[in-house]
Each structure stands twice: as structure tokens, then as C-alpha cells.
Amino acid sequence: MSTAGFKASICGGPLTRREMLRVGGLGLLGLSLPQLLALKSRAASAPVVTGGFGRAKSCILLYLSGGPPQHETFDPKSEAPIEIRGDFKSIPTKIPGVHFSELLPKSARIADKLAILRSMTTDNNSHSASGYSMLTGYEHPSKIEVPASPEDWPCIASVVGALKPSERSPFTSVILPEIVHNDNAPPSPGQSGGFMGHTWNPFLLHCDPSLPRLEIDGLKLPESVSFERLSDRANLLRHLDRQFLGAMRSEPVAALDRMHDRAFDVMQSATARAAFEIERERSSLRDRYGRQKFGQSVLLARRLVEAGVRLVQVNWPREPGDQMTGFPVWDTHKNNSPRLRDVLCPQFDAAFAALIVDLQERGLLDETLVIAMGEFGRSPRINADGGRDHWGSCFSLAVAGAGIAGGQVIGSSDRDGAFPASRVLRPPDLAATIFHLLGINPAGDFLDLLGRPRPLVNGGVVIRELAGA
């Protein structure tokens, strides 16, 4: 069937070229157009929570892998014994009566724009399994470290990419600057399309934006190739693909095709290419974000959402050789205080505060949801090595933008920061809220590869304080 005579509609509107491409990709997975239409119909007819629905055009998720400590960030316990409160004092914020750790002075100055969740829990002390819950909204059956599996639930980024495609960018959901893994293990679960296959995977931009010139594999145009020649080559490749590979269609081939299509679209789109030209930013702004890999990755995320990317997940990058230090990424089992003071908190504090202010100055904060979180927190008691251990029972995260009322604290922990004392929040609640604010009904479902309906969220409830309901 040619696209010229195609008259289908989705939720009352015409089928766009991007929807057509997505229908083709889903067809390779066994999802027909009628199934896709049924999916859209169910999502549209499911009950919608009032307040904030669809207010966010995009989302930036800062994933502080390793597990940031609640005590030295957003939930200090200044009245607790030193073995619990740690070496650092608390400081007042712009929220009357609310204190952050002294390690986050810049975040404290913008606290009136933040909503702090202090009672998140996964009840899981495994990096990978707890992280899976935070990144998918679904509980992992394991309580130990596990690698990614083809049977995993699709991550939030993949669901957003599939159900809320960007109208302005070849990319809808992106992960950068690298994938999360534990030491030398395979990638951790919760970062892919899972059982929906590779075509649902977020696009991984493996890069280092802190380098003098940002280059991304697969997105660089050879100097000898003009954009006109690139377009001719793309058309030829697609023609050959239709002629010779039709009988060999498979899900991996479909994923490869989609990657090629995205690369061609990016290289042919001036707006998409410009998003990666981070060197065009003024030096003073780059300094505000911090010149390290994390800070520049956060700045790149802002450039991508400004160019139309729907969701960007910025993972805290590993340092060369950090597996042998005893405290890779935010996993501060040893030397918690110097590691936080000298490396971790200054980078996060600068980049996070700079992002919020930058988005506001550009008029983007009201339409961009920003979340800063880890897979869990750290133990309330400092261990014999001067570190804090894994702790999924209670931890904090920060949320801003998308019209969320700033200057509020949601939930509380007990006096030691060990367990929720009020307003217990779980990953499905966070996932439901993200979907809701991005205009995806969390009460809806999607069809798996066998055509079976799967609920977007497993029992989660939209966090009313964030949705304004």
C-alpha cells in the first residue's frame, strides 16, 4: 500500500509521516496498524487524573548511578549522632525551615524551584534490581545483582519513545553519555526496550561532551560527502533494502534500519546537527555547568530537549579505573566524606543548579520535567571504612519544572533517615507521574509482541503534589 492513498487517523488526527514510520517499525515486531490504533484508543479513553496532564513537552532525567546518600544531599539529619549525620553540616534553603547538606549550596539557592521527595523506597539493596525499579516503574523479582535480560520490562525512556514520538527531532528518547553497568559486569537492566525488542530501545549517544570537539559514532558526515550525496546514498540504501532484504526481515535488522534512518535524519537536519554543537555555547555557561563529563552531558541534554528530543537520560559516568577504588560512581562504601566533598557533590550541585536556572532563563522550565535521582540511597549508619552502604528502604530525589509547584517537600524520613515516616512513595508512583506529565495516560496499556495488552504502570498513582491535582 502506498502512503499517498493512506487515510487512517489516530485519536482523531491524521497519521503523520513519523507515525507511518513507526507503524512500519512496529509491524516488524508483529504489531499491525489496527493493533496500534486499538492501543491509542484505549490510552485515550482511560481515565485521566486532573491536573498537569501533558504539561511537560520534554523530560531530563539525571541518573546518579551508584546511589547518592540522602544525608549528605537533600535530607540531612543535623540532630542525629555523628555516625549517622556524618561530617557535614546542614544549610538553610530558599524553602523556609528546610535544610540541605552544606555540600549543595547552589541547589539550596534554587530550592524554591524544587520539589524534594524524601520518602522514596524500593525495599531493594541491589544496584541493578533497585535501579530497574526506578527506571521502569516495575519491581524486579531479584534482590541480588542481575544483568539486563531480553525479558525485562521496557524502561520509561523506551515507553516514552514509542508512545510519544517527537514531532521536531529524529530522536525521541536518548541515553547519554554511556550505559550503566556495575563494575565489569554487563549492562544493568532497565535501560532498554526489554521484551518489546531493540526497536523500542532509547538511542544511546556514547560520547564525552567535555572534549574540545564533540563527536558521536555514526553521526559524523565524512568530509568528502556532501548533504546531497548523503541523501542520494540514503535513498539508494533504502531501495536496496526493500529489494533484497525484505525476505530477511527480523527484529535486529529492523533495529539496524531504524538506527540508519535516525543517523541520516540527523545529518540531513540542520536543527538536529546544531544540537550537538556544544562548543557554540558561551564559555561562561559551560563553566557554570562544570567542565567535567557529567556537567557537559547535562548541558548537552538541555540542547537536545531544546531541539525537540522528548526524554534525555543523563547517566553519571564512570571514571577510568574506578572499579578498583572502592567507591565507583556514587557507590561510596569507603571514604564517603572526602569523595562527596571533593568529587561528587560539587559536580552534581553545579550542573543541577545550572540546568534549572538555564531552563528558566530560556523559558523552557515550565515545559521541561527535570528529575535527579539514583537507584537507591545510602545506609543511615557510617560503616567501619568511613562509607555508607546500599540502602533501598528510604531515599530522596529532586524534581523541578513542568509547572510543578516549587518550594515543597513531599514525604519525610524518620530521625535517622532510614525509613519513610510519612507519605511512602514507590517507583510505580514516579513512573505514573512522569507519564502523566508527558501526556501519556498511566492508566493505559500497550500491546506486546503477541498482541497482549500490558499496563503501562503496575499499581502506581500519580503524585498529586507534583501534578497539581
Write down the domain spans for the chain.
46-216+276-467
What is the rounded end-to-end Cα distance, in angstroms, of the chain?
45
Specify the residue for cell string 572502592.
326
- Confirm if 52 and 437 have CB atoms less than 8 A apart: yes
DSSP 8-state class, residue 111: G
Does pLDDT of 438 surpass 90?
Answer: yes
Selected residue with higher pLDDT from 104 and 263: 104
How much is the pLDDT for 141? 93
Alpha helices in 269-394 (DSSP H): 270-275, 283-289, 293-306, 336-339, 345-361
Name beta bridge partners: 344.
none
Cell output for 97: 525551615
Cell output for 123: 525495599
pLDDT-based confidence at residue 320 (cuts at 50, 70, 90) = confident
Q: What are phi and psi of 171, to 5 degrees?
A: -100, 145
How much is the pLDDT for 11? 33
Q: Cβ–Cβ contacts within 10 Å for residue 381, how many?
A: 15
What CATH number belongs to 46-216+276-467?
A: 3.40.720.10
pLDDT-based confidence at residue 47 (cuts at 50, 70, 90) = very low
Alpha helices in 342-463 (DSSP H): 345-361, 427-437
pLDDT-based confidence at residue 261 (cuts at 50, 70, 90) = low
How much is the pLDDT for 193? 97
Q: Residues with Cβ < 8 Å from 135, sequence gap 6 or more?
A: 63, 155, 156, 157, 190, 191, 375
How much is the pLDDT for 292? 97
- Confirm if 152 and 132 have CB atoms less than 8 A apart: yes
Distance CA 428, CA 90 (A): 31
Cα 65 to chain centroid distance, Å, stands at 12
Q: Residues with Cβ < 8 Å from 433, sequence gap 6 or more?
A: 442, 460, 462, 463, 466, 467
- Which segment of 28-32, 111-115, 247-251 scores lowest on mean pLDDT? 28-32
Distance CA 261, CA 268 (A): 11
How much is the pLDDT for 222? 54
- Among 37-51, 122-136, 157-171, which range has the highest average pLDDT? 122-136
Query: What is the percentage of the chain residues whose pLDDT exceeds 70?
Result: 76
Does pLDDT of 326 surpass 80?
Answer: no
pTM: 0.84
Mean pLDDT of the chain: 85
- Which segment of 31-35, 140-144, 166-170, 332-336 scores lowest on mean pLDDT? 31-35
Nearest to 374 by CA among 60, 23, 135, 31: 135
